[in-house]
């Protein structure tokens, strides 16, 4: 909730926090879901991390024959916990997120709310005092990258939250060094046009991967970001384990743990793949950078190898069109089901976006972990110009064929399956036989003409199965956000750091092209 306290001062209330700011400091109420979910994830991580530390200390003390005493006091939110976690919010702006963390997450020792803007740092200081959390939140006026580099050796953080405007990659090198062993990184990216394939050359320069324009571009964006984080971590003998990866509204958000181990880093090549995407029918195949082989002599030992390939011929086997090659992307699981289940079970109903958290996590728990990327119902039907089958019919056909299928939280009409493309297209051919395509639509050389010219290997059944309808759909959970009209979209960058001269120049340029066209039109009429 936002209100005006004076002509230039704004008051923002969200969760248990209230902040005040003067001038144009970026705040988007759509991001409440982001903050609510982050609170739920950090709460769960804090409990898990504390249990791991206690178990580790207990083993060490038992080995040294020391009497073990475990503090079983339940920590309270808003109260400083001396053996609690430390959190860095590197790009804090008003301090709203850090203040909410302080007031709503138990087991916290210290939170550093940092911003490079002097004005923002002053706002953070004032808002910390306004909310009475000086015991937990320490305002900081510093360059985020330098601040994290200062903590890469000593006083590393248990949790680092990076929520920048746009691309987060400039912060990753310092972040993967400043996080403790087993610590939690929360990273947001809002430059979706770059990640979703509109500018693959820019995506490579920023993330080290080629993005592709395909229906599953939002999942590809997540997987590009994860491979980028893994790449930065590997340089320092570290690697990541994703806990939860989300595409929501106009951004992506990942929650990953960071561990150390040079040997474990060797497994990275088997977690990354190039994507071969057909330009005609939107089919895709993944080709891993590395493969794992079992040692015949020692089954506990793994050999690392390089795959042969490519997995596709010069033209698509289904529609005869060429392929684009993208990636590398993260092709290992996006989530930890056990962790997501814990967050789902313990999320507070007091959170403003609780129903959406419940709905999104329910779909995440149903997603196939071993089937990267997805099709969409309308694209499958549109490619061959056939009447769109009911979603439950298509899902049933895939299940009847002996394969798995699921939705994904990223798209309402998503079809995520471990069925190979030839099976998917065979199923669509069977549907087209029962619902004939107009011959006028079958243009020579088109994807539809190529696909439908091939006879299906067998007749697939579209008989509806009860297990085709997932629990999240039956329960009627709020799974996908509708456009929240007044504040939809990423908004504009905060102007707290922008000089007055630049702001004035921007204002002068507003509508400049329309004015020029209007002037040209007036001159022409006078002539």
Could you give the angle at which helices 118-131 and 96-104 cross, rounded to 10 degrees?
30
Q: How far is CA 38 from CA 163, 197, 286, 407, 456, in A?
A: 11, 27, 31, 23, 47
List the CATH number of the domain containing 84. Answer: 3.40.50.150
Instruction: Say whether both 181 and 103 belong to one domain.
Output: yes
CA 496 to chain centre: 27
Q: Two tokens at 78?
A: 């808003």
Instruction: Say whether both 347 and 377 belong to one domain.
Output: no
Alpha carbons 163 and 496: distance in angstroms, whole number: 17
Contact 139, 160 (CB under 8 A): no
Which residue bears the tokens 């962790």? 339
* Listed residues 323, 340, 360: the one ending a domain: 360
Instruction: Say whether both 329 and 377 belong to one domain.
Output: no
Among residues 10, 4, 31, the alpha carbon closest in space to that of 22 is found at 10
Alpha carbons 303 and 291: distance in angstroms, whole number: 8
Confidence (pLDDT) at 474: 87
- Residue 440 falls inside a structural domain: yes
Q: Two tokens at 419?
A: 């069925």
Contact 81, 108 (CB under 8 A): yes
Q: Which long-range contacts (CB under 8 A, 24 or more apart) does 59-62 make?
A: none
Contact 90, 114 (CB under 8 A): yes
Instruction: Say whether both 194 and 148 belong to one domain.
Output: yes
Helix (H, G, I), strand (E, B) or coil at 271: helix
Instruction: Say whether both 220 and 336 belong to one domain.
Output: yes
Instruction: Say whether both 211 and 275 belong to one domain.
Output: yes
- Residue 469 falls inside a structural domain: yes
Contact 470, 405 (CB under 8 A): no
Q: How far is CA 244 from CA 341, 342, 367, 442, in A?
A: 11, 12, 12, 43
List the CATH number of the domain containing 397. Answer: 3.30.56.70
For 453, the domain range is 370-484
Tens of pLDDT, residue by residue, the chain (527 residues): 655 555 467 888 999 999 997 766 556 778 899 999 999 999 999 999 999 988 888 777 776 666 555 555 678 999 999 999 999 999 999 999 999 999 999 999 999 999 999 999 999 999 999 999 999 999 999 999 999 999 999 899 999 999 998 999 999 999 999 999 999 999 999 999 999 999 999 999 999 999 999 999 999 999 999 999 999 999 999 999 999 999 998 899 999 999 999 999 999 999 999 999 999 999 999 999 999 988 777 777 889 999 998 999 999 999 999 999 999 999 999 999 999 999 999 999 999 999 999 999 999 999 999 999 999 999 999 999 999 999 999 999 999 999 999 999 999 999 999 999 999 999 999 999 999 999 888 999 999 999 999 999 999 999 999 999 999 988 888 765 555 545 445 555 554 444 445 555 656 666 666 666 566 555 555 55
Confidence (pLDDT) at 67: 52
Alpha carbons 30 and 74: distance in angstroms, whole number: 33
Q: Two tokens at 455?
A: 């006879």
Alpha carbons 69 and 17: distance in angstroms, whole number: 36
Sign of the four-CA dihedral 137, 342, 479, 209: positive
DSSP H or E run through 430? helix 421-434
Burial of 502 (0-12, 13-18, 19+ CB in 10 A): exposed
Q: What are phi and psi of 102, to 5 degrees?
A: -65, -40
- Residue 517 falls inside a structural domain: no
* Listed residues 360, 393, 426: the one ending a domain: 360
| Domains: count for the chain | 2
Contact 30, 2 (CB under 8 A): no
Confidence (pLDDT) at 25: 58
- Residue 500 falls inside a structural domain: no
Instruction: Say whether both 228 and 247 belong to one domain.
Output: yes
Confidence (pLDDT) at 74: 79
Confidence (pLDDT) at 497: 46
Confidence (pLDDT) at 158: 98
Contact 229, 199 (CB under 8 A): no
Q: Two tokens at 10?
A: 């704004």
What's 397-411 look like in SS3?
A: HHHHCCCCEEEECCE
Confidence (pLDDT) at 496: 46
- Residue 3 falls inside a structural domain: no
Instruction: Say whether both 417 and 331 belong to one domain.
Output: no
Alpha carbons 213 and 326: distance in angstroms, whole number: 10
Q: Give the number of C-alpha atoms closer than 13 A to the C-alpha of residue 386, restricted to the C-beta side.
A: 25
β-sheet with 9-14: strand ranges across:
2-4, 9-14, 17-22
Instruction: Say whether both 170 and 271 belong to one domain.
Output: yes
β-pairing, 137-141 vs 108-115, is parallel
Instruction: Say whether both 326 and 423 belong to one domain.
Output: no
379 C-beta neighbours (distance < 10 Å), count: 15
- Residue 454 falls inside a structural domain: yes
Alpha carbons 33 and 249: distance in angstroms, whole number: 10
DSSP 63-132: HTTPPP----PPP-TTS--TTSEEEEESS-TTSHHHHHHHHH-SSEEEEEEEES-HHHHHHHHHHHHHHT
Instruction: Say whether both 408 and 315 belong to one domain.
Output: no
Instruction: Say whether both 304 and 426 belong to one domain.
Output: no
- Residue 508 falls inside a structural domain: no
- Point out which residues pair with 140 in neighbouring strands: 114
- Residue 431 falls inside a structural domain: yes
Dihedral of CA atoms 297, 303, 308, 311 in degrees, nearest 10, equals: 100
Q: How far is CA 149 from CA 121, 158, 181, 230, 256, in A?
A: 20, 15, 16, 18, 19
Q: Two tokens at 348?
A: 């507070």
């Amino acid at each position: 909730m936002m209100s005006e306290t004076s002509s230039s001062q704004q008051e923002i209330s969200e969760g248990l926090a209230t902040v005040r700011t003067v001038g144009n400091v970026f705040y988007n109420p759509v991001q409440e879901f982001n903050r609510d979910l982050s609170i739920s994830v950090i709460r769960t991580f804090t409990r898990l991390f504390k249990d791991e530390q206690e178990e580790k200390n207990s083993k060490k003390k038992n080995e040294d024959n020391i009497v073990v005493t475990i503090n079983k006091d339940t920590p309270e939110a808003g109260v400083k916990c001396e053996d609690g976690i430390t959190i860095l919010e590197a790009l804090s702006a008003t301090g709203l997120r850090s203040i909410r963390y302080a007031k709503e997450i138990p087991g916290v020792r210290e939170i550093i709310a940092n911003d490079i803007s002097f004005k923002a740092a002053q706002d953070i200081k004032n808002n910390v005092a306004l909310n009475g959390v000086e015991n937990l939140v320490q305002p900081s006026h510093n360059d985020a990258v330098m601040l994290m580099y200062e903590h890469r050796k000593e006083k590393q953080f248990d949790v680092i939250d990076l929520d920048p405007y746009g691309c987060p990659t400039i912060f990753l090198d310092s972040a993967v060094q400043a996080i403790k062993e087993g610590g939690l990184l929360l990273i947001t990216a809002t430059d979706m046009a770059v990640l979703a394939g509109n500018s693959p050359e820019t995506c490579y320069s920023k993330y080290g991967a080629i993005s592709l324009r395909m229906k599953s571009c939002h999942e590809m964006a997540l997987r590009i970001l994860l491979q980028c984080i893994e790449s930065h971590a590997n340089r320092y003998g570290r690697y990541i384990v994703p806990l939860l990866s989300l595409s929501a509204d106009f951004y992506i958000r990942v929650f990953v743990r960071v561990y150390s181990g040079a040997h474990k880093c060797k497994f990275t090549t088997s977690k990354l793949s190039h994507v071969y995407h057909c330009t005609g029918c939107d089919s895709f195949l993944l080709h891993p950078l590395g493969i794992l082989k079992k040692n015949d002599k020692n089954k506990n030992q793994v050999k690392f190898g390089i795959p042969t390939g490519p997995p596709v011929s010069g033209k698509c086997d289904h529609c005869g069109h060429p392929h684009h090659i993208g990636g590398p992307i993260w092709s290992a699981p996006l989530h930890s089901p056990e962790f997501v289940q814990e967050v789902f079970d313990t999320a507070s109903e007091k959170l403003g976006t609780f129903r959406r958290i419940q709905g999104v996590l329910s779909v995440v728990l149903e997603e196939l972990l071993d089937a990267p990327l997805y099709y969409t119902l309308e694209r499958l039907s549109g490619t061959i110009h056939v009447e769109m089958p009911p979603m439950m019919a298509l899902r049933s056909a895939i299940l009847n064929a002996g394969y798995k299928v699921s939705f994904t939280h990223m798209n309402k009409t998503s079809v995520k399956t471990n069925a190979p493309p030839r099976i998917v297209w065979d199923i669509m051919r069977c549907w087209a036989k029962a619902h004939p395509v107009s011959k006028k639509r079958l243009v020579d050389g088109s994807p539809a003409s190529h696909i439908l010219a091939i006879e299906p290997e067998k007749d697939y059944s579209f008989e509806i199965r009860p297990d085709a309808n997932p629990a999240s759909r039956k329960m009627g959970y709020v799974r996908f956000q509708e456009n929240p009209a007044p504040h939809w979209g990423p908004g504009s960058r905060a102007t707290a750091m922008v000089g007055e001269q630049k702001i004035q120049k921007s204002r002068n340029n507003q509508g400049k092209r329309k004015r020029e066209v209007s002037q040209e039109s007036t001159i022409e009429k006078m002539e």
